[in-house]
Structure 1
């Protein structure tokens, strides 16, 4: 299937769904988006959520500015509607087909929906300002001038990062809920813990510490955290 947003070919991922169903998720690396038919995002097993989390980490790159209002449903060609929603205390958005054929969601918003992302604390923003002046927005890729604020001037998203503490808790919960599934990587909790330590070091600017990878900041803080996590997973494999 071609991506509704950028028209590039999407990569198909077959994942386990509840009640033994297969769930087909289409992933677009160029525009960092996912397409779910119908309500497939709600049918993923806990192990499949972790598998998709890994797939996002392996494909993450600097997001590009885009106009989601122009995208059309790949099934019926109707214009997709911007929809705002909330999971616990986290706001996220996606573009849905008015005829219920599916939804298009950015990597950033999928991670927000699954509680893998949180806004930076005031102390983290202060520590960040000591080390860098500009960081790219994890949502749209636009530059955020830390001297002028801590939110993206283009899309309004506050600076956010991969929440390593929450990710560790979610991984533990998902592993218990999906016990017996082969999709859950037993090394992931350890890699998350190590990535959390790397994240803390990056914000504090410890001597001799290269904040994530050299290209990490260009992908935004969420992308930098995911890149570090995937690097650790590959190193430990």
Structure 2
């Protein structure tokens, strides 16, 4: 079996997760949950089957409250140790950041960039941004990962990307597009899960606060309230939460 490569960012061993390719063959992806990134050997990002995309969502959902750290600069290829080149790719759903090995060993992608690549996002509407501005203090940019004060900025001040969100309807459309050869007999547009973006962010923060309180209950008398509007909202995790609710609904 292939040994786990070191994460290009933190240099710790990545976790190997086994999926199925769109040709029915085994496919191993290397994931670092601490850095929220995936390493793809050459062209692996194009080989995931629709069923494997659902499984990947399950894995991301399991780790939705994990603490994560900023990416290192520079990062190194886990195969040849050369510095990865940072750049942008553009698809219909937006622009996303990618880190490539100049010797073509592969590419490192943040979870959010992978979701943009696969067409699972849409730009947030003005009313959605205004609503979030009153409910959360800041959000993480889904393009570059930087924290952005959504009350002041209407686009990321670092990479200028529009705010985008993993969208259940977009995920369904993208997955059905990938699986055209094996489309199910029934058609129709599924209903969205009964949770909005703000609710998902608040629920996510509540989960994280509860986990943090458990970790520190022997050291502190109390912790900050989960209702504190100063927390940073993770649009990626909130989107995964919404999509997972939809997947569970469709599977029953």
TM-score tier (shorter): 0.7 to 0.9
Structure of greater Rg: 2
- Taking structure 2 as the reference length, what is the TM-score of the superposition? 0.73
Q: Give the RMSD, CA atoms, in angstroms.
A: 3.1
Given that 1:136 and 1:144 are in contact with CA atoms closer than 8 Å, whether structure 2 keeps it comes out as: yes
Unaligned runs of 5+ in 2: 208-230
Given that 2:19 and 2:26 are in contact with CA atoms closer than 8 Å, whether structure 1 keeps it comes out as: yes
Alpha-carbon separation, structure 2, partners of 1:10 and 1:131: 35
Residue matched to 1:66: 71
Given that 2:39 and 2:109 are in contact with CA atoms closer than 8 Å, whether structure 1 keeps it comes out as: yes
Residue matched to 1:158: 162
Residue matched to 2:126: 122
- 1:134-213 correspondence to structure 2 within 5 Å: 134-139=138-143, 141-178=145-182, 193-194=192-193, 197-199=194-196, 202=198, 211-213=202-204
After TM superposition, the structure 1 stretch with the greater mean CA deviation from structure 2, 33-42 or 47-56, is: 47-56
- Taking structure 1 as the reference length, what is the TM-score of the superposition? 0.77
Equivalent residue in structure 2 for 1:23, among 27, 31, 46? 27
C-alpha distance 131-148 of structure 1, shift in aligned 2 (>3 A): same
* Structure 1 residue 175: Cα displacement: 5.0
Structure showing the higher helix proportion among its residues: 1
The answer on 1:91 being equivalent to 2:95 is yes
C-alpha distance 8-104 of structure 1, shift in aligned 2 (>3 A): same
C-alpha distance 128-41 of structure 1, shift in aligned 2 (>3 A): same
Alpha-carbon separation, structure 2, partners of 1:226 and 1:4: 24
Residue matched to 2:205: 214
- 1:28-43 correspondence to structure 2 within 5 Å: 28-43=32-47
- Residue-by-residue CA offset, 1:110-138 (whole Å, 9 max, x unaligned): 00000112221112112222333333434
